[in-house]
């Protein structure tokens, strides 16, 4: 009985000495929970502001706010083509830039006939480095460009390990994904500053938010675009220029042609047209957004998960796509 009493007294003394630490941990836990709840509420409100209210409140007059001409790179397929069509639907004249003249002519003619706007195109191969830009600069010198969309980008045929990538592919990623955005902004931005209005949209990717193994170079190039956009915003917002970083999640495009996993649209993978119709609605409202409410939910959930879970999922998806691509290649 004495031993029991002594154990009880010892337990009570230990409990008294630890109560401060228990209370401190409770305060830390409550503060962490409160921060997460507040972040979730603000994220939800921001998502509604960006993706619901614009649809209910009517479209912004992009011509009046930014100007009558838009330049879109990589505009014969995927997001670039869909974004050009959305701008034309809102009355903006478009200048398309890509390397395939036949496709440019076809898309330019289709947009002009469908949406009754003026169109033009410039043939340019951004993989050639500096030689592409003098012709672009000359073609745009007398145009009052109100919107620039840096969409052109390249991804190796399928996710793969870094050492498996040829040097030519690495240089193409740098020249097309990174250098093109810098040079196009350098060409167009002075005119916008002179007019004190304009918008630049750099299409990055949600893979810039977390490490993306097997897409290492591509993801790094998209992270560059994201930081490039955010820094430019702080430099030029006071001069009337709106700069937006779009960070979409997976979209059904021809970027990975051999993958059945993302070749068809689904509740998770929207078509380029569906994505563009939402993304254009966020122009002028947010400097950094996924552009699409379903993607916003996916990114918001991803931020709540530990990095290792996100990386594990990315590796699983990339390995699945790689396996499909290699099987397709063998056939």
Which of 53, 29, 291 lies closest to 149, judged by CA?
A: 291
Q: Under a CB-based contact definition with an 8 Å cutoff, are residues 237 and 243 in contact?
A: yes
- Does 224 participate in catalysis according to the annotation? no
- Show me where the domains of the chain are located: 49-330
What residues contact 86, with CB distance under 8 A and at least 6 apart?
A: 276, 277, 279, 280
DSSP, collapsed to helix, strand or coil, labels residue 174 as helix
State how far the alpha carbon of 231 is from the alpha carbons of 54, 190, 242, in Å. 26, 17, 12
H helices present in 52-142, as ranges: 53-57, 62-65, 78-89, 101-115, 133-140
Query: How far is it, in rounded angstroms, from Cα 276 to Cα 266?
Result: 16
For position 10, what pLDDT does the model report? 63
Question: Euclidean distance between the first and final Cα of the chain, in Å?
Answer: 81
What residues contact 47, with CB distance under 8 A and at least 6 apart?
A: 293, 296, 297, 300
Query: How far is it, in rounded angstroms, from Cα 314 to Cα 319?
Result: 8
Q: What is the pTM of this model?
A: 0.82
Query: How far is it, in rounded angstroms, from Cα 8 to Cα 13?
Result: 9
Of 115, 133, 218, 292, catalytic: 218
Q: Under a CB-based contact definition with an 8 Å cutoff, are residues 177 and 154 in contact?
A: yes
Q: For the domain covering 49-330, report its CATH number.
A: 3.40.50.720
For position 1, what pLDDT does the model report? 45
Q: Per-residue pLDDT for the chain (331 aa), expressed as one digit of tens each?
A: 455 556 666 666 666 667 766 667 777 777 777 776 776 676 667 666 666 666 655 678 899 999 999 999 999 999 999 999 999 999 999 999 999 999 999 999 999 999 999 999 999 999 999 999 999 999 999 899 999 999 999 988 889 999 999 999 999 999 999 999 999 999 999 999 999 999 999 999 988 888 889 999 999 999 999 999 999 999 999 999 999 999 998 887 665 555 555 555 566 678 889 999 999 999 999 999 998 888 888 887 777 788 888 889 888 888 888 888 788 765 5
Give kind and range of the element (H or E) at residue 201. Answer: strand 198-203
Q: Report which DSSP code applies to 163.
A: G
């Amino acid at each position: 009985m004495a031993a029991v009493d002594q154990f009880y007294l010892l337990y009570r003394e230990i409990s008294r000495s630890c109560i401060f630490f228990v209370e401190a941990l409770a305060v830390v836990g409550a503060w962490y929970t409160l921060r997460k709840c507040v972040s979730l509420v603000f994220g939800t409100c921001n998502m509604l502001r960006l993706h619901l209210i614009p649809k209910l409140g009517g479209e912004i007059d992009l011509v009046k706010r930014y100007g009558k001409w838009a330049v879109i790179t990589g505009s014969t397929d995927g997001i670039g083509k869909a974004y050009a069509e959305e701008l034309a639907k809102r009355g903006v004249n478009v200048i398309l830039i890509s390397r395939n003249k036949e496709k440019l002519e076809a898309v330019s003619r289709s947009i002009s006939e469908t949406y009754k706007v003026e169109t033009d195109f410039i043939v340019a191969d951004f993989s050639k480095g500096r030689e592409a830009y003098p012709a672009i600069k000359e073609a745009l010198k007398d145009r009052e460009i109100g919107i620039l969309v840096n969409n052109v980008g390249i991804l190796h045929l399928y996710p793969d390990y870094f050492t498996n990538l040829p040097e030519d592919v690495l240089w193409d990623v740098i020249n097309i994904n990174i250098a093109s955005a810098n040079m196009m902004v350098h060409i167009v931005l002075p005119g916008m500053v002179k007019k004190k209005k304009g918008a630049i949209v750099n299409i990055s990717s949600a893979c810039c938010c977390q490490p993306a193994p097997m897409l290492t170079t591509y993801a790094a190039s998209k992270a560059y675009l994201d930081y490039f956009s955010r820094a430019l915003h702080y430099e030029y917002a006071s001069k009337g220029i709106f700069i937006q970083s779009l960070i979409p999640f997976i979209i059904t495009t021809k970027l990975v042609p051999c993958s059945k996993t993302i070749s068809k649209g689904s509740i998770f993978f929207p078509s380029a047209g569906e994505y563009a119709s939402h993304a254009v609605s966020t122009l002028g409202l947010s400097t950094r957004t996924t552009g699409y409410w379903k993607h916003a939910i996916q990114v918001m959930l991803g931020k709540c998960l530990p990095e290792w879970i996100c990386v594990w999922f990315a590796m699983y998806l990339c390995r699945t796509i790689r396996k499909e691509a290699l099987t397709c290649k063998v056939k």
